[in-house]
Amino acid sequence: MPNLCLSEISELSEHVGEALGHSRWIQIDQARIDAFAEATGDRQWIHVDPARAREESPFGGTIAHGYLTLAVVPSLLDELIEVKECSRVVNYGIDKMRLKEAVRSGSRIRIHAQIINVRLFGGGDARVTFKVKWEIEGSERPACLAEAVLIYYR
């Protein structure tokens, strides 16, 4: 059950500034990294060659693609917020994104999110901006900081 359950899109405005808590931890293992590399065609050795990465990488092994880190936001955000009278949610973009720390293969990450802006449109739709922080288990530095912008359609 999401931390914030709303009936209608218009209710989002009432929660600007509200922290939504954090998602569950998810494993970023080599299989997930390899699948992402295959899907995107980004097969750079630092992501997909564990032996070479152990020898040559400053991280001591393979790391997740930055875009893989970003790509988990929609599924993890679904754990934090639900709007029942909503037909679909579409990614609109990422603002002020910074990759702060590499996500090493085998790490677990989760997100923390806060609603920072809601713009309601005629017809009942809304553009919602979330401040998102990706946490790496056991690390003081976040993996990423960004503002995720989504459009909620009635």
DSSP per-residue letters across 32-95: HHHHHHHHH----HHHH-HHHHHHH-TTSS-B--HHHHHHTHHHHHHTTEEESS-SEEEEEEEE
CA distance 39 to 43: 10
Count the residues in the chain.
Answer: 154
- Which of 77, 69, 50 minimizes the C-alpha distance to 61? 50
pLDDT of residue 66 exceeding 90, the answer is yes
The one-character DSSP state at 18 is -
Domain definitions of the chain by residue range: 4-28+65-153
Core vs surface per residue 67-106: b (16+ CB within 10 A) or e: ebbbebbeebbebbbbbeebeebeeeeeeeeebebbbbbe
Quick: pLDDT tens for 74-120: 999 999 999 999 999 999 999 999 999 999 999 999 999 999 999 99
Q: What is the CA radius of gyration of the chain?
A: 17
* Residue 11, SS3 per DSSP: helix
Q: What is the pLDDT of residue 122?
A: 87
State the fold for domain 4-28+65-153.
Answer: Thiol Ester Dehydrase; Chain A (3.10.129)
Residue pair 61/116 in contact (Cβ under 8 Å)? The answer is: no
Percentage of residues in the chain having pLDDT higher than 70: 100
Q: What is the pLDDT of residue 121?
A: 93
- Which of 87, 77, 148 minimizes the C-alpha distance to 111? 77
Q: What is the pLDDT of residue 141?
A: 96
Predicted TM-score (pTM) of this structure:
0.92
